[in-house]
Amino acid sequence: MSLWGKHIVVTGGGSGVGAETAKVLSLAGASVTILGRREAQLQTQSLPYQVCDVTDAAAVRAAFEAARKKSGPIVGVVANAGAAESAPFQRTDIEAFRSMMEVNLLGVVNVWQAALSDMKAAEWGRMIAIASTAGLKGYSYVSAYCAAKHAVVGLTRALAQELAMTGITVNAICPGFIDTPMLDRSIDNIVAKTRMSGDKARLSLASVNPQNRFIQPTEVAQTALWLFSEAAKSVNGHALALSGGEV
Ligand SMILES: NC(=O)c1ccc[n+]([C@@H]2O[C@H](COP(=O)([O-])OP(=O)(O)OC[C@H]3O[C@@H](n4cnc5c(N)ncnc54)[C@H](OP(=O)(O)O)[C@@H]3O)[C@@H](O)[C@H]2O)c1
């Protein structure tokens, strides 16, 4: 499949799933622009980038305008930037809920809105959110993250209906635990809060997946690549679980 001539923005493209997805889409011929807050991290990927906080709608619009000037209209957005905080519900204050919704839900809203007019003009587009199995089921101690990821799945389903006649598809990819820096931080957190060793914490999280392993970033990237294909043009409004059967 060739994505030649297609300009795609990948948020959170400086690390983990976003970096791998940007690489895979770029190898398929797309012009890829990556977004994130840490410039040094973005620079490691050797791709055009914009430094931008996805929670800031005005900054997102400016970053998309600058990217558009460099590489043309934006017909694909992989809304991958996200963050996870964990705590028991009783100790999750309203600010924690707000910050989880800001980055994991409104960050998606901002980047999809910033590209919509280009996609409508092209009568073709792909909006993809990297949600989570936490958008499809509950987990203990991550109520704010789960609520935000469920909201992303709801947004995806609603927008897929609204845009169905425009040539644009809207889908969410919902992976289980993926081997990325975010997972490393979760394991550090478990180690800090319990007496478990790092190795035991890793084994325990891997065992949540019936295949007893972590999803690899390339599996998410290849799923996104497939969603960009013409073969996937009828796939619209889905929340595709990549979880070894967990969901
Ligand atoms: N790892 C897992 O187990 C797992 C499982 C299911 C779903 N996911 C989802 O997968 C996505 C990618 O996460 P990952 O695992 O690859 O972790 P990661 O390496 O921590 O990547 C998260 C990326 O998002 C960017 N980001 C965070 N907040 C941002 C903001 N406000 N504005 C712009 N960029 C922001 C970060 O860059 P900067 O800090 O430089 O901004 C970073 O590059 C997330 O949406 C996550 O919820 C992860």
User: What are 112-152's pLDDT values in tens digits?
Assistant: 999 999 999 999 999 999 999 999 999 999 999 999 999 99
Which percentage of the chain shows pLDDT scores above 70? 100
CATH code for the domain in which residue 158 is found = 3.40.50.720
CA distance 113 to 93: 29
As to burial, measured by CB atoms within 10 angstroms (0-12 exposed, 13-18 middle, 19+ buried), residue 205 is middle
**139 and 30 co-located in one domain:** yes
Residue among 49, 139, 141, 145 flagged as catalytic: 145
Residues 128 and 23 in one domain: yes
Task: Check residue 243 and give its pLDDT.
Answer: 98
Whole-number Å distance between alpha carbons of 53 and 58: 10
Residue 59 forms part of a structural domain: yes
Model confidence at 224, pLDDT cuts 50, 70, 90, reads: very high
Q: Which of 24, 37, 86 to mutate to test the pocket of ligand 1 (most atoms within 8 A of CB)?
A: 37
Does 203 share its domain with 226?
A: no
Same domain for 231 and 120?
A: yes
Strand partners, 7: 31, 74
Give residue 199's pLDDT.
96
Q: State the pLDDT confidence band at 247, using cuts at 50, 70 and 90.
A: very high
What is the rounded CA–CA span in Å between residue 76 and residue 13? 14
Owning domain of residue 203: 178-214
Same domain, 22 and 138: yes
Same domain, 190 and 104: no
Residues 72 and 22 in one domain: yes
On the question of pLDDT at 76 being above 90, the answer is yes
Q: Whose CA is nearest to atom 32 of ligand 1?
A: 53
Q: Which residues contact 72 (CB under 8 A, 6 or more apart)?
A: 7, 31
Average pLDDT over the chain, rounded to an integer = 97
Q: Residue 104 — pLDDT band, cuts 50, 70, 90?
A: very high
Average pLDDT over residues 29-50: 98
82 ligand 1 Cβ < 6 A: yes
Q: Are 22 and 13 in contact (CB under 8 A)?
A: yes
Quote the ligand 1 centre to 58 CA distance (angstroms). 20
Instruction: Tell me whether residue 49 is one of the annotated catalytic residues.
Output: no
One domain, residues 201 and 183: yes
Q: What is the DSSP letter of 215?
A: B
pLDDT at 195: 86
Residue 202 structure tokens: 């890793």
Name the band, by pLDDT with cuts 50, 70 and 90, for residue 1.
confident
For residue 215, the ligand 1 atom closest to its alpha carbon is 3
Please give the average per-residue pLDDT across 163-178, as a whole number: 98
In angstroms, what is the span from residue 79 Cα to ligand 1's centroid?
10
Q: Decide: 92 in ligand 1 pocket, CB within 6 A.
A: no
Q: Does pLDDT of 229 surpass 90?
A: yes
Query: In this structure, are 117 and 190 located in the same domain?
Result: no
3-state secondary structure of 214: coil
pLDDT tens-digit map of 175-220? 999 999 999 999 999 999 998 999 999 999 999 999 999 999 999 9
- Asked whether residue 74 falls in the same domain as residue 184, the answer is no
The Å distance, Cα 231 to ligand 1 centre, comes to: 28
Identify which of 9, 11, 15, 155 to mutate to test ligand 1's pocket (most ligand atoms within 8 A of the CB): 15
198 close to ligand 1 (CB < 6 Angstrom): no
> Same domain for 198 and 164?
no
DSSP H helices in 7-128:
16-27, 39-43, 57-71, 94-101, 107-122
The per-residue pLDDT for 174 is: 99
Assess contact for 128 and 171: CB atoms under 8 A: yes
CA dist., res. 95 & res. 66, Å (int): 32
Residue whose Cα lies nearest atom 26 of ligand 1: it is 81
Same domain flag for 117 and 152: yes
Give the residue among 42, 128, 36, 27 at the shortest CA–CA distance from 77.
Answer: 128
Q: How far is CA 150 from CA 14, 39, 125, 153, 184, in A?
A: 25, 30, 23, 5, 23
Q: What is the tally of structural domains in the chain?
A: 2
